[in-house]
Amino acid sequence: MILFLNFVELTGLSVTRVEVCDIQDKHFLRQRYTFSSSETSFSLDSRPSDAIAIAIRADAPIFVDEKVFLKSNKIDEPAHASDDSEEGQKWAEYLKNLSSEDFGKYKV
């Protein structure tokens, strides 16, 4: 990630936004970076994990298309931990008990 951000900076560009464009089967699809400089602006598609990591490191806002919210509301099954080990169950319990106030407290 750092190498990519260094490249972006050396070319005179900046990451101005990241967009989450679609979701399918509970997986985010079509993440898009938007880059800009004084001369140009353009977008590139990306893997979800890369887009989120770059947005955080570049201090760029993350936008979510309305259809992602609409599609995600259709997921009716309860969440469950895919790691059934004792450690996985501990993390699942910890995450389940997080409140909205807990988000933003910790630095990445």
From the list 14, 5, 51, the residue with the least C-alpha distance to 29 is 51
Prediction pTM value: 0.55
Q: Is the pLDDT of residue 107 over 70?
A: no
- CA atoms of 21 and 29, how far apart (whole Å): 7
Q: Average pLDDT, stretch 53-76? A: 80
Residue 55 pLDDT class (50, 70, 90 cuts): confident
Count CA atoms closer than 13 A to 73's CA, side-chain side.
4
Q: Is the pLDDT of residue 87 over 80?
A: yes
Q: Is the pLDDT of residue 78 over 70?
A: no
Residue 36 pLDDT class (50, 70, 90 cuts): confident
